[in-house]
Structure 1
Amino acid sequence: MRLPLAPGCTLFALRLPGGTPAASSSPLDHFALRPPPAQPVVVAPAVQPVVVAPPVQPVVVPPLLRLLLRSLHREKGKTRQARPRSAGTAGNKNKQTAREASSPAGNETGSTTVEDLPADVLACALRRLDGPSLAAASCATAGLRALASDPDTWRALCLAQWPSLDTHQHSILGSAAISPQRLFADAFPFPSDDAAPAASSDSDQHLPGELISAVDVYHKGAPIFSRAVETSTSSSWFLTSPFRVDAVDCKNPVPAASISPAELELSWIVVDPRSGRAVNVSSRRAVAVDRHWYTGETLVRFAVVLGGCKFEATVTCSEEAGCLREVSLTVEDADGAAASGECSLRLLAAAMAGPRKGGEKEGEEAKRRYDEFVSSKRGRKESKARREVLVDLCCSAVSAVAVLSFLASVVLR
């Protein structure tokens, strides 16, 4: 008889102590099933999640920061060279150099920069920049600042921008009190109108005893007229008379053939030779182009508004004769009256000491302020005219009442 067994089971017989199998009614009672041996339980380790690291982004160092790091690296190198060296210092320096070379910042500071060029080459390159670019380059590093502060560089830049500075019998830039860099910083940007009213009301303000006007007229960017005019301002006649400076007199016109008045540009720099300060009182571009009502000549106006007054430079062009007949500077107050020499000097001194404004839109700002000044002056004139009409009506009414009263008194007698 076959007994079905589970896989891995073993049959064995049960014997009595006497050695014979125990009596049983069933033959299966003499056998027992032996379970299979227990297998060891193997526990699988927990699966750890795989974390993918993000890619490392390269460190981008701006050029200006790179130049600063380069300068700091050089300063550190000079400091280390100044210290006394020993046997152990060389090894530490090599380790430090290796660490700097392995770091990103060390790679950037170790690269070649513009300061690695010879000083003569850098100075030649700086001379080819314009004024704003040269001023921006001087703010990069101490080395570039030292090269950009060269007086000869700024003198050449000022002469290229304003040729009239070298037409004076004694060169304006040759004075020890006038720094070329300071002159460019004063004359290139536009004067601000914020500090002029407060400063102009100061009675103890120092007034210039002499003014030098550097006048340059350009046509399509090329200079066609340059002249420097010296004006003495210490006399009582000048202080009490209306302010006016003539660079070109109508008796001695300047030839200027085939020019378009609308394309003219003007720079009028007023310099105080005693203090060395300057201010440009021209809007550079024309704010108005008119026709003279009698002669028919073209009047090109350049103006800035300072302290509630208008500094207006007028270029009178005769297209038929092909010449500049007159170039003059005048000052008007808010009512349209000519300002005196003393009032004009106070406004000029306040503008020289005040802040400046730069930017490409300053020409449009000067044109806007000029239009506001003209409209305000027109409104003042209309209001004054209405007041005068009311006063005339009142005077006429009083006169009529007096005449009627006199006639009534004569009739009723």
Structure 2
Amino acid sequence: MITSTAQPPATTASMAEEDSATSFSSLQTDIIEAHILPRLDGITLAATSCCSNTLRQISSQDHLWSKTCHSTWPSTRSPRVCQIISTYPDGGPSKFFSQAFPLLEEDDHSCSNVRPSSPSAPPPSELISAVDIHYQDKLIFSKVQETETVTGWFRCSPFRIDLLEPKDVVPTPIKHPEGDETCTSIFNSMTLSWILIDPIGRQAVNLSSHKPVTVQRHWLTGEVQMRFASILAVDSGHVQCGIVVTCSVSEEGDMMQIREICLEIEDMDGMHINGTGCLGILQRAMEGKKGKGRNRVQEGQRRYKEYLEMKKEIQDRKARTEGTLDTLCMALGVSCFLAFWCFILFR
């Protein structure tokens, strides 16, 4: 009688998993914590924490997530931002990362007929902007700016946050070639992060599309204007939260320099919204659901294209309505003119 010693496939797979788990668990915890996890980016670190209870405990430590936030956004090294992140409830730096890294969820943010919910807390009395610009993965600009939101000037004026004074410029490694080569280079190589933070409510949202949705070069001056955008749902439809970065030619004439970095919000008619209206919009965006953080570039560009198509459709509809009204007014005017002369001639 011959007895088979072959193991069923399921048993073999189970043993392989046990061997793999044993070999991984044989590593010292301090080796994993000191030499493996610090090398991971935020998305990979979050995925690693789902692999086992041991990894979940190690990966949830604040110092790992603080390092991840600082490496992803150098502006978060600011003492004010560090203090805010450290007091975040339910996770501290990891909670902040989960708010600031991804785009908003499709249901809250896309060009669909979604009525946004009302904010659950009073409007913030202050907004903090943490902004970082990279070119070819090298940091070229980083700044933290505080904006008060309680004065009448802010609430009644069009919402706008400028990071540079009129005479300030930021040097860049971007060369100034002829033709459209500059636009292509910037589009493929520049990234921007604009994290807006509510320091009291401990909420944050990244308003940038990560990469530009449009890059335009002025044919005469050679200036290059980049637009990073997020499309936010509001009661009346959608608004564009646009970040404009303008580069001009340096005095030497061979390099580009940044002379404007601003954030503004406009509706589908191209009208800028005042501070009071923007506070509610931004607060809903901070409290909205966040996505998984993947495909941010493609998703941001898709939503911006969708927004432009909807905007064009509304403009075309208005143009047709105005054309119809003009025709009716002209016909009414002609009818009144003819009726007047008929009355004069045949009375």
Q: TM exceeds 0.5?
A: yes
Q: How many Å separate the matches in 2 of 1:200 and 1:177? A: 28
**Kept after mapping to 2: 8 A contact 1:298/1:318:** yes
| 1:118-133 correspondence to structure 2 within 5 Å | 118-125=28-35, 126-133=37-44
Scaled by the length of structure 2, what TM-score is found? 0.81
- Give the superposition deviation at 1:402: 2.9
Structure whose CA Rg is larger: 1
| 1:129-208 correspondence to structure 2 within 5 Å | 129-167=40-78, 170-175=79-84, 176-178=86-88, 179-195=92-108, 200=116, 202=118, 206-208=122-124
245 and 199 in structure 1: CA distance in 2 versus 1, 3 angstrom threshold:
farther
Q: How many Å separate the matches in 1 of 2:170 and 2:126? A: 26
- Give the superposition deviation at 1:52: 6.8
Q: How many Å separate the matches in 2 of 1:194 and 1:352? A: 14
Q: How many Å separate the matches in 2 of 1:272 and 1:62? A: 50
Identity %: 34
The yes-or-no answer on 1:318 pairing with 2:248 is yes
364 and 403 in structure 1: CA distance in 2 versus 1, 3 angstrom threshold:
same
In the alignment, which residue of structure 1 is the partner of 2:133? 217
In the alignment, which residue of structure 2 is the partner of 1:270? 196
In the alignment, which residue of structure 1 is the partner of 2:182? none
295 and 408 in structure 1: CA distance in 2 versus 1, 3 angstrom threshold:
farther
236 and 128 in structure 1: CA distance in 2 versus 1, 3 angstrom threshold:
same
Instruction: Find the residue that maps to 1:135 and give its secondary structure.
Output: helix
Higher relative contact order (CA 8 A, sep 6+): 2
**Kept after mapping to 1: 8 A contact 2:43/2:293:** no
The residue identity in structure 2 corresponding to 1:172 is V
Scaled by the length of structure 1, what TM-score is found? 0.69
- Give the superposition deviation at 1:51: 7.9
In the alignment, which residue of structure 1 is the partner of 2:180? none
The residue identity in structure 2 corresponding to 1:120 is D
- Give the superposition deviation at 1:119: 3.8
In the alignment, which residue of structure 1 is the partner of 2:144? 228
**In terms of mean alpha carbon deviation, does 129-138 or 341-350 score higher?**
341-350
Instruction: Find the residue that maps to 2:200 and give its secondary structure.
Output: coil
Q: How many Å separate the matches in 2 of 1:202 and 1:123? A: 42
CA deviation profile, 1:64-110 (whole Å, cap 9, x unmatched):
x64xxxxxxxxxxxxxxxxxxxxxxxxxxxxxxxxxxxxxxxxx59x
Q: What runs of 5+ residues in structure 1 fail to find an aligned partner?
A: 1-49, 67-107
| 1:248-327 correspondence to structure 2 within 5 Å | 248-259=164-175, 260-262=185-187, 263-292=189-218, 295-307=221-233, 308-321=238-251, 322-327=256-261
Q: Which runs of 4+ in 1 moved over 6 A?
A: none
**Kept after mapping to 2: 8 A contact 1:193/1:305:** no
The residue identity in structure 2 corresponding to 1:55 is A
CA deviation profile, 1:254-308 (whole Å, cap 9, x unmatched):
1224354322111111111112111111111111111347744111111121212
**Kept after mapping to 1: 8 A contact 2:192/2:208:** yes
In the alignment, which residue of structure 2 is the partner of 1:243? 159
Q: How many Å separate the matches in 2 of 1:231 and 1:199? A: 28
CA deviation profile, 1:346-393 (whole Å, cap 9, x unmatched):
232222222222254332121111111112211211221221122222
| 1:345-356 correspondence to structure 2 within 5 Å | 345-356=279-290
The yes-or-no answer on 1:331 pairing with 2:265 is yes
**Kept after mapping to 1: 8 A contact 2:210/2:296:** no
- Give the superposition deviation at 1:186: 0.9
**Kept after mapping to 2: 8 A contact 1:289/1:301:** yes
- CA RMSD across the alignment: 2.8
198 and 180 in structure 1: CA distance in 2 versus 1, 3 angstrom threshold:
same
Instruction: Find the residue that maps to 1:239 and give its secondary structure.
Output: helix
Q: How many Å separate the matches in 2 of 1:55 and 1:154? A: 47
204 and 412 in structure 1: CA distance in 2 versus 1, 3 angstrom threshold:
farther
Instruction: Find the residue that maps to 2:208 and give its secondary structure.
Output: coil
Q: What runs of 5+ residues in structure 2 fail to find an aligned partner?
A: 176-184
**Residue 400 of structure 1, aligned match among 306, 330, 334:** 334
In the alignment, which residue of structure 2 is the partner of 1:84? none
